[in-house]
Amino acid sequence: MKSARTMARAGKVQKAKAPTVGDYEILAEIGKGAYGKVYKAREVRDRRRLLAVKKLNLPGDPSNGIPQVMVREVALLRKLQSFNHPNVVKLLDVSAAVRKQSLDLTLVFEYIDQDLASFLSTASEDGLARDKIKDVMQQLFTGLDFLHSNAVIHRDLKPDNVLVSCRGEVKIADFGLARIYTYNIALTPCVVTLWYRAPEVLLRLGYTSSVDVWSAGCIFAELFLLRPLIRGYTEFQQLQKIFEVAGVPAEEDWPKDSPIQYNPAWRSEPGTHLLPACLRDKDSDLLAVSASCGPYLLHPPTAIICLNTGPVSSQTF
């Protein structure tokens, strides 16, 4: 992998046969973040495809190169794009421009109509059809299995980072926090939006791809409820709310290296009665897969297990 400084000085990152900055016109702003904005654009020639253009302005000395988080996102997308997976958003082009006091980075993606959060916000009060929920989750787990098979953890999976096309295609996006991993690597704890954060992250443990599977499970519940299932406002409160829904591991299974000590006062049995009725049905039981894998902190389910067993398999719904 090229260093950030090398990438910045080169100006272009692995130039491909794809739309470059002069090949499209900006149509509208569709999002913004800490470093820049995302635009809807259209090619001005050839196929006239719709594009999503992420324009980032990185203040500071350009000689310091591109920040690590940006390099990571570009490198991972370049690594994955050669597979052309249908459930991972496609990066079409990257360019960098060095200015006196800043560095401009432009990423061009395929355009997808909306994210899952927007999709859910327009759903009827009756909720989504079960067939639709199953289809979304099968595509999401297929994308996750592809990432994990290539040793990539997304680490920030949430409805805002899952795209849904007008044709019903589901694509995982936004790899700014993603990491290439080895088994049970200890990664930084402050990843994943709080409501989708796995217990092993909250307990400050080493973790693997299981954190993405947990986040996907939270999304699964949200497809039924049209709202987040577990909503804490501090890390400790989020952990308590997880235990209220999923139960507390037995004391002998409690991780010895966690800075949070086991508390016998915590609820010791899964509080499934706290789940809405639509999630207590055996065909949509969020605990089904976890139960088949033993204590969830010791043997968390993988994406491929979720595809082959439990709520999103072909035997359910």
Q: What is the residue-level pLDDT of the chain in tens, covering all 317 positions?
A: 333 333 333 333 333 445 555 688 999 998 877 667 889 999 987 778 999 998 877 776 656 666 676 677 677 777 777 788 999 998 888 887 777 777 788 888 899 989 999 999 999 988 899 899 989 999 999 999 999 988 888 888 999 999 999 999 999 988 664 444 433 333 444 444 789 988 888 887 777 788 899 999 899 989 999 999 899 988 888 988 888 887 777 777 787 877 888 887 775 455 454 455 655 555 444 444 444 444 444 456 677 766 676 556 655 54
- DSSP code of residue 101: S
SS3 122: coil
Alpha-carbon gap, residue 133 to 119, rounded angstroms? 12
- Domains of the chain by range and CATH? 4-110 (3.30.200.20), 114-312 (1.10.510.10)
Alpha-carbon gap, residue 15 to 70, rounded angstroms? 17
Catalytically active residues, by annotation: 156
Structure tokens of 109? 């993606």
**Residue 119 · residue 171 · CB < 8 Å:** no
pTM for the whole thing? Answer: 0.77
55 marked ligand binding residue? yes
Among the listed residues 208, 229, 167, 210, the one whose alpha carbon sits nearest the alpha carbon of residue 305: 210
CB atoms within 10 A of CB 27: 14
Cα distances (angstroms) measured from residue 294 to each of 82, 289, 290, 297, 298: 36, 9, 7, 9, 7
